[in-house]
Structure 1
Amino acid sequence: MVEKAQKMALLVGCNYPNTPYELRGCHNDVLAMHEVLVDRFGFDPVRVALLIDKPGGSIMPTGANIKKALEKMIGQAKPGDVLFFHFSGHGTLIKPHFSSKKEEAIVPSDFNLVTSADFRELVNHVPERATFTFLSDSCHSGGLIDKETEQIGPSSIHKEDKFGSLDVSGNSHKPKTIPVQSIIEHLTSLTNISTSDIATHLMELFGPDASLPFRTPPHEHDFMAKPLKPDEGILLSGCQANETSADVEITENGRMGYGAFSHAIQMVLKENLSPLSNRQIVLLARNTLRMQHFYKQHPCLYCNDENADAIFLSQADHQP
């Protein structure tokens, strides 16, 4: 008997309300995605979890809560299942004191960073022939799944993309990035520890819930102990690792807005009713942003060769 495959999703929007880092469009991004997943892609609303940092919310999108929700979704997955994670919020580049490379990271509501190493560790537990698609509308999001193959990235930039950075609509926008020094200052205000070592602050505040690179040196990570095989991780990033993604304000009072990349994805899906591959989605989103004069934000695609041309959020046959 053939067991029906499932579709599951986690949607996370962080606006950081009442902070100096407040954004306008992240809640709108994931609410719009919720509607598209259910209406177009056939997700059961019961299997779509939503975490937003709305004041008074029951479950906030903290680093620990995001990882727990992802672990739960991956733990329930079977071969052939489709898993989807959409994050809209701040991103940053951070360098652990014992590492020679910078880690791309998303910034949860409590600043307990979730890094590319954490996402690699999560993807390593996705069952064979299940897919994990990660759409990240955040700054420095290129490469957010560590060691994933670049399909569309810095090498794909066109010469004409290097000029200008204005939104043709005239709406104001801001980058979804928080400088490392600002993160350290924020964490210092919570720990009262005088050090520029971010790992010290994260371990003091979050202990075992801190990101993997701040808890163990890179050579001790489980995924470093054996060669990485082609996997089912698929990353659609709002920009390259060295770029920023835009949060756009669309009303005079600034109360409404959207992420430029999330909105571009919505436009691409609305204008193309036939199935699109992951590669097509990213290329069309790039073109959409270019037409809106976001010349310095280049969406990227990271995955194995087969998944680059697989249908976006497609469902494989599940053989028992």
Structure 2
Amino acid sequence: MARKKALIIAINYFGTDHELKGCINDAQNVRNFLVEERGFSPSTHDMVMMSDAPENEGTPFYPTGANILAAIKWLVTWNKPGDSLWLSYSGHGSQVKNDDDDRPSGFDDTICPVDYAENGQLTSEMLHRAIVSPMNPQCRLTILFDCCHSGSACELPYVYRPDAEGNVNMVDTIRRGVGLIKAARELFEGGFDASKVDEAKMLLGGATDFFNGLHHRRNEGDVDEDGLAPENFEEHWETEGKDVWMFSGCADDQTSADTSIAGTPTGAMSYTFIRTLKENPQQSYINVLQNTREELARNYSQIPQLSCGGRYDLDQMLVL
């Protein structure tokens, strides 16, 4: 029989200059949603809740970096085909300088454990290697990250972002950017001509603008027959093909709102994502992304994203 496992992480950073208000409330809301709406068991055998509530300090449920990585290992290993996994994180997200020089932005996205000031942050590459790489490819993992700079927090290779009208049209954007590069190259077919340089610079500049809008530049050679390309991570994560679906609260260069709804502190993304699924439990992945975007846009500037471990059909029903 397929098993459901969940790891729910929330950090309010009590007593610090960076204290948040709604993250532990987010965790409780997620827990209630999974148990009451999606059939998850609240047993500690199947569900682990980590927070920096005072009663957890000194226990494995206190979200230090080491404890988070240990809990992730519990979540993604020792699973059977068909198991359904859930991971959510509410807390601070940040960025640190990329020392390997393999990220076009120059930065890695991070999450901030409760002890980040003493022991450092968990980078996107660390998270991918801990969460995605060890997974059984026949299990499905759903991730919800409600934190700043969360768009590439797990370095999943395929990223989808809705525009202001709710259209998810990354394919067209990439195709146009690649077309500009091809046009620039074709200028020089048959020999170099100095008169063509300015025109080529204009074309390549336009392509760069398109790709920068997607945060990571794409390699022309990686584009498939539909014009879709994976995120250009040095590690070529697109070859792993893991069944991972991550909803993140904002793009890499945005912040995620810690707000109050009906008098209760909460994260805007967590609240809206859960509300969207409660109002209509039977939605496709692309519908959930579009409806969450529409709801957030009424009050917030952040743009949610959906990232996937492979090239999957976004019109299939969301499964938890």
TM-score when scaled to structure 1?
A: 0.70
Distance in 2 between the 1:257 and 1:115 partners? Answer: 27
User: What is the aligned partner in structure 2 of residue 275 from structure 1?
Assistant: 282
Structure 2's unaligned 5+ residue stretches are: 167-233
CA contact (8 A) 2:156 2:237 kept: no
Distance in 2 between the 1:61 and 1:247 partners? Answer: 19
Distance in 2 between the 1:267 and 1:30 partners? Answer: 14
Distance in 2 between the 1:238 and 1:16 partners? Answer: 19
Closer/same/farther in 2, CA of residues 257 and 7 from structure 1, 3 Å limit: same
TM superposition shift of 1:268: 0.6
User: What is the aligned partner in structure 2 of residue 54 from structure 1?
Assistant: 53
Aligned residues: 241
User: What is the aligned partner in structure 2 of residue 196 from structure 1?
Assistant: none
Match of 1:289 among 283, 296, 300: 296
User: What is the aligned partner in structure 2 of residue 244 from structure 1?
Assistant: 255
Closer/same/farther in 2, CA of residues 287 and 45 from structure 1, 3 Å limit: same
Distance in 2 between the 1:285 and 1:226 partners? Answer: 27
TM superposition shift of 1:306: 2.2
Closer/same/farther in 2, CA of residues 110 and 286 from structure 1, 3 Å limit: same
Distance in 2 between the 1:312 and 1:109 partners? Answer: 31
SS at match of 2:291: helix
TM superposition shift of 1:80: 0.9
User: What is the aligned partner in structure 2 of residue 313 from structure 1?
Assistant: 319
Question: What do the CA deviations read for 1:216-258 (whole angstroms, capped 9, x no partner)?
Answer: xxxxxxx938972322121100000111100013588xxx400
- Match for 1:145: what amino acid? C
Closer/same/farther in 2, CA of residues 226 and 113 from structure 1, 3 Å limit: closer
Distance in 1 between the 2:124 and 2:294 partners? Answer: 26
Distance in 1 between the 2:250 and 2:313 partners? Answer: 19
- 1:145-294 superposed matches below 5 A: 145-150=154-159, 152-153=160-161, 156-158=162-164, 224=235, 228-249=239-260, 256-272=264-280, 274-291=281-298, 293-294=299-300
Match of 2:8 among 11, 28, 34: 11
SS at match of 1:266: helix
Match of 1:300 among 302, 305, 310: 305
1:127 aligns with 2:132: no
Closer/same/farther in 2, CA of residues 144 and 309 from structure 1, 3 Å limit: farther
What is the CA RMSD across the aligned residues, in angstroms? 2.3
User: What is the aligned partner in structure 2 of residue 140 from structure 1?
Assistant: 149
SS at match of 1:285: helix
Match of 1:24 among 17, 21, 25: 21
User: What is the aligned partner in structure 1 of residue 220 from structure 2?
Assistant: none
Question: What do the CA deviations read for 1:59-87 (whole angstroms, capped 9, x no partner)?
Answer: 31111111110111111211111111010
Distance in 1 between the 2:246 and 2:304 partners? Answer: 10
SS at match of 2:109: strand
Question: What do the CA deviations read for 1:177-232 (whole angstroms, capped 9, x no partner)?
Answer: xxxxxxxxxxxxxxxxxxxxxxxxxxxxxxxxxxxxxxxxxxxxxx9389723221
User: Which entry has the higher C-alpha Rg, 1 or 2?
Assistant: 2
- Match for 1:298: what amino acid? I
Closer/same/farther in 2, CA of residues 308 and 63 from structure 1, 3 Å limit: farther
TM superposition shift of 1:313: 3.3
Distance in 2 between the 1:23 and 1:149 partners? Answer: 30
User: What is the aligned partner in structure 2 of residue 103 from structure 1?
Assistant: 108
CA contact (8 A) 2:52 2:63 kept: yes
TM superposition shift of 1:309: 3.3
CA contact (8 A) 1:13 1:53 kept: yes
- Match for 1:49: what amino acid? V
TM superposition shift of 1:99: 2.8
Distance in 2 between the 1:5 and 1:67 partners? Answer: 24
User: What is the aligned partner in structure 2 of residue 118 from structure 1?
Assistant: 126
- Match for 1:37: what amino acid? L
Question: What do the CA deviations read for 1:131-154 (whole angstroms, capped 9, x no partner)?
Answer: 11110000000011214201x22x
Structure 1's unaligned 5+ residue stretches are: 161-222, 315-320
